[in-house]
Amino acid sequence: MSVRTGPDRGGSNRVWRKLLLAVGFIAVAIGTIVAWQSPATGYEVSVYAGTPLIFWVGVSIGFLSAATVTLASCRDRIAGVSVGLGALTAIAIGSLPVIRSYRFYGRADSMTHLGWAADLMSGRMRFGDLFYPGGHSTTTLLADSMGLPIERAMILFAALYFALHVAFIPLVAKALFEDGRLTVIAAFSGFMMLPINQISSGLYFHTYSMATLFFPVFLYALVKHLTSKPKDGPLIGRIGAWNIVIAVLGAVLVITHPQLALNVVILLGTLVVLHLVFRNRRNLFVSNLRPVYGVFVFIGVCWVVWVVQFGRVFDVGERVMLATYDTLFGAAQAGGGNVGSQVDSARSVEATLFELFVKLFLVPAVYSLLGTLAVVVSLRTPLVGTDRSERATEVEHRGRSVVTYFGSAGLVLGPFFLAHFMGPVSHLFFRHYGFAMVFVAVLGAAMIHRLGTLIPTGRWLAVAKPLALGLLAVALVLSLLTLFASPYMYNASHHVTDQHMSGYEAAIEYRGEDVQWSGIRRGPGREFDALVPGVGLYTRPAVSTGVSTRGDDDLRLLLEGAADEARYLPVSRSDIDREVTAYRELRYSESMLESIGSRSGVHHVHDNGEFDLYYVTPRNNETATGGAG
- For the segment 79-96, what is each residue's pLDDT rounded down to a tens digit? 999 999 999 999 999 999
- Report the pLDDT averaged over residues 128-150: 93
- For residues 167-172, average pLDDT: 97
Query: Are 448 and 519 part of one and the same domain?
Result: no
Residue 536 pLDDT: 67
Residue 381: helix, strand or coil by DSSP?
coil
Q: Which residues contact 254 (CB under 8 A, 6 or more apart)?
A: 261, 299, 302, 303, 306
Per the CB < 8 A criterion, the answer to whether 416 and 431 are in contact is no
Is residue 20 in some structural domain?
no
pLDDT value, residue 261: 95
Give the pLDDT confidence score for residue 6 in this predicted structure.
46
- Which residue type, as a one-letter code, is found at position 336? G
**Would you say residue 533 lies in a domain?**
yes
**Given the DSSP bridges, would you call strands 567-572 and 611-616 parallel, antiparallel or unpaired?**
antiparallel
Q: Clarify whether residues 207 and 307 are in a common domain.
A: yes
518 shares a domain with 423: no
Report pLDDT for 237.
66
- Whether residue 525 sits in one domain with residue 450: no
Mapping DSSP onto H, E and C, the string for 354-397 reads HHHHHHHHHHHHHHHHHHHHHHHHHCCCCCCCCCCCHHHHHHHH
Residue 196 near residue 482, CB atoms below 8 Å: yes
Res 354: pLDDT: 86
Lowest mean pLDDT among 225-229, 256-260, 298-302, 420-424: 420-424
Beta bridge partners of 182: none
**Do 509 and 440 share a structural domain?**
no
Total tally of structural domains belonging to the chain:
2
Q: Is residue 56 part of a domain?
A: no
The pLDDT value recorded for residue 8 is 47
Same-domain check for residues 447 and 550 = no
Q: What is the pTM of this model?
A: 0.91
Calculate mean pLDDT across residues 234-262.
89
| pLDDT tens digits, one per residue of 522-575 | 999 999 999 998 876 667 888 887 778 999 999 999 999 998 899 999 999 999
- Flag whether pLDDT at 328 surpasses 60: no
Average pLDDT score over residue span 575-596: 94
Within a domain: 24: no
Which helix (H) or strand (E) is 607 found in, with range?
A: strand 602-607
Asked whether residue 336 is assigned to any structural domain, the reply reads yes
Q: Are residues 170 and 254 in the same domain?
A: yes
Q: What is the pLDDT of residues 483-521, one digit of tens each?
A: 999 999 899 999 999 999 999 999 999 999 899 999 999
Query: Which domain range does residue 557 map to?
Result: 497-623
pLDDT tens digit string along 284-322? 555 577 889 999 999 999 999 999 988 777 776 666 676
Of 112-116, 377-381, 622-626, minimum mean pLDDT range: 622-626
Per-residue pLDDT for 282 more than 60?
A: no
CB 258 within 8 A of CB 313: yes
Query: How far is it, in rounded angstroms, from Cα 528 to Cα 511?
Result: 12
pLDDT tens-digit series, residues 361-397? 999 999 999 999 999 998 887 777 655 555 666 777 7
Give the distance, in angstroms, between the CA of residue 559 and the centroid of all CA atoms in the same chain: 39
Evaluate if residue 26 carries a pLDDT over 90: yes
Strand ranges across the sheet with 602-607:
516-517, 567-572, 611-616, 602-607
For residues 135 and 549, is the Cβ–Cβ distance under 8 A? no
Burial (CB count within 10 angstroms: exposed 0-12, middle 13-18, buried 19+), residue 308: exposed
Which whole-number Å values give the CA distances from 193 to 202, 371, 438, in the listed order? Answer: 10, 15, 9
Q: Compare 155 and 6 and report the one with higher pLDDT.
A: 155
Q: What is the DSSP string of 558-577?
A: HHTT-SSS-EEEEEEHHHHH
Percent of the chain past pLDDT 90, that is, above it, reads 61
With bands split at pLDDT 50, 70 and 90, how would you rate the model's confidence at 347?
low
Q: Is the model's pLDDT at 35 over the cut of 50?
A: yes
pLDDT at position 326 is 62
133 shares its domain with 265: yes
Q: Using CA atoms, how far apart are residues 187 and 83, in angstroms rounded to an integer?
A: 7
pLDDT at 626: 47
Residue 464 falls within a domain, yes or no?
Answer: no
Does residue 3 fall inside a structural domain?
no
- Same structural domain for residues 312 and 200? yes
Given 454, 474, 505, which residue is the final one in a domain? 454
One domain for residues 511 and 430? no
The identity of residue 341, as a single letter, is S
Q: How far apart are CA 614 and CA 628, in angstroms?
A: 9
Q: Do residues 416 and 508 both lie within one domain?
A: no
Return the top range by mean pLDDT from 287-296, 397-406, 470-479: 470-479
Residue 361 within a domain: yes
pLDDT at 590: 95
Q: How far apart are CA 116 and CA 130, in angstroms?
A: 8
- Tell whether 563 and 436 lie within a shared domain: no
Cα distances (Å, whole numbers) of residue 246 to 131, 134, 395, 588: 22, 17, 21, 51
DSSP conformational letter for 424 = G
Q: Determine the angle formed by the axes of helices 427-452 and 258-278, rounding to 10 degrees.
A: 50
Residue 108 confidence (pLDDT): 87
Q: What is the pLDDT of residue 73?
A: 78
